[in-house]
Amino acid sequence: MAFQHSIAIVEDEEDILTLFTEIIREHGYPVIGFTNPSSFVEYIRIHKHEIDLLLIDYKLPQMTGCDLAKKTAEIDPTIKMILITAYNDIVNNTLNLELIHKPIKINELVQIINRYMHPTIG
């Protein structure tokens, strides 16, 4: 059975993935992390409609975050997605995803997640 509000993160840097995962868990959200975008695509095909919010690093091995977002939307168009990047030259953001620029402060990350997970609050 799926959690009511679950979040996935695709980030190829283990340290950042671990940090974001711990922060999100501390704020009460179930979260699953992936360092490989293809692994996430396989996961979402099997676990359709179980993820509410996807945080995607823009620079990933195998594909960009925008490419991953497109594949994810084709599988499950209900997932809300945010791109996380340290770059200003984002290419192909055809889904017009919100961008979060690294480095991000923890409280800003939590506020953004809360806004997506509880859109009626605040």
- pTM of this structure: 0.91
For the sheet containing 53-57, what is the strand order?
31-34, 7-10, 53-57, 80-85, 98-101
- Give the CATH H-level superfamily of domain 7-113: Response regulator (3.40.50.2300)
- Ordered by start, the domain boundaries in the chain are 7-113
Q: How confident is the model at residue 120 (pLDDT cuts 50, 70, 90)?
A: confident
What is the helix, strand, coil percentage profile of the chain, to 5?
A: 40, 20, 40
Residue 2 in this model has a pLDDT that exceeds 80: no
Instruction: Write the pLDDT tens digit of every residue in 82-114.
Output: 999 988 878 778 899 999 998 999 999 999 999
